Amino acid sequence: MKKSATTIKKEKIFKLFSQNLEWVKEHPSIRFEPDFKNGYICPLCFDTFLQKDLDSRLENFLTLEDIPPKSLGGKPLALTCKKCNSRSGHELDIHLLNNLLETDSKQFLPRSRSKATFELNGNEVNGVLEVDTKGGLTLNLQTQRSNPDQAKKFMSDLIPPRTIYNPIFHPHKMYENGFKTPTFHMKLNKISNERRAEVALLRVAYLIAYSTLGNAFLINGGLYKVREQLLNPDKEILSKVFWLNYDFPKEMEGVNIITLPKELRCFLVIFSLRTKSLSRQFGIVLPGPSEPSIKVYDFIEKELCTGDGTTFLNIVSEHIPNENYLSQKQYAFVAHWYWQEYTKDDYKPRLRPDDLNE
């Protein structure tokens, strides 16, 4: 039987990460009990899976993980188990997508679309607000989805008799028989959960770092709380803020390490998400394997979330070059190597991956 494109892709990713994990396990201080060979660790729940678990007929099989979500421009870069994909993926990704689409609509960006409620003289009608490619607005009224009595009165006031002017769009005009200018309001429907959308951004950053740096990146005590937050999005496990509000240069997209100030030492994952209307950049903080570790989030909230929220410190950071680390044994611990080098008080800037072999 011919394998599907999805199966081939899953097998390729499994083999890549499984081999990388075997190289990590060769380190004398790393042990698994019970031990296993040629396995895959779900980066979210840390359960172990074998190649047989790629079979989608199983209850908890390995699934392709689009990073970022495919609806926002991502592509499959890793695997997660079905349980985690459903629990912390679908429950989060949909809120992230809807949150961005709602923001597009609030800003009336071209190609945006949102369900809305229109009110005229106290009568409401449901509908859709659409913005075309040139910024033109279209209000699609859906009277069949509205209260019949209110919809009838709404349409009567919207198209009033005895005047050639619509009072909504010509409020400065004088109307016959003392016709009063109606009041018109529009409310865009909000269906996203903002906190879940924020946690979804944290999830994207975590999986980008994992898919870039491999299994050794997960050997980091501070990431325990990050995973706990991802698996329990409605709980406040981390501080409220785990991002930096700043427009970073395009060349910084990917994984970076902030070296100074010391209180802000962390992995900084920068990525863009694309809707039909706009591409937006995000800079998400992940704790490093040494101080300040998880305390970095407290520093962000205390020092950077002040005033209008745009306060930003002068930072020193290094970008981790975008290389194919997972397929080469000498790069198995590349995440820790870069962290140790870049957080030294006398580190040499602009190191390259080739320096690992010197």
pTM for the whole structure = 0.88
With a cut of 80, say whether residue 348 has pLDDT above it. Answer: no
Side chain identity, residue 198:
E
Highest mean pLDDT range out of 20-24, 153-157, 174-178?
20-24
DSSP code of residue 331: G
Tokens of 221: 């005590």
With a cut of 60, say whether residue 176 has pLDDT above it. Answer: no
Rounded to an integer, what distance in angstroms lies between the CA atom of residue 171 and that of residue 99?
Answer: 34
Rounded to an integer, what distance in angstroms lies between the CA atom of residue 26 and that of residue 34?
Answer: 15
CB atoms within 10 A of CB 152: 14
With a cut of 80, say whether residue 5 has pLDDT above it. Answer: yes
Instruction: Report pLDDT for 353.
Output: 46
pLDDT per residue as tens digits for the range 94-153? 999 999 999 999 999 999 999 999 998 899 999 999 999 999 999 899 999 999 999 899
pLDDT per residue as tens digits for the range 13-22? 999 999 999 9
Greatest pairwise CA separation for the chain in angstroms: 91
Rounded to an integer, what distance in angstroms lies between the CA atom of residue 231 and that of residue 224?
Answer: 11
Rounded to an integer, what distance in angstroms lies between the CA atom of residue 125 and that of residue 130?
Answer: 16
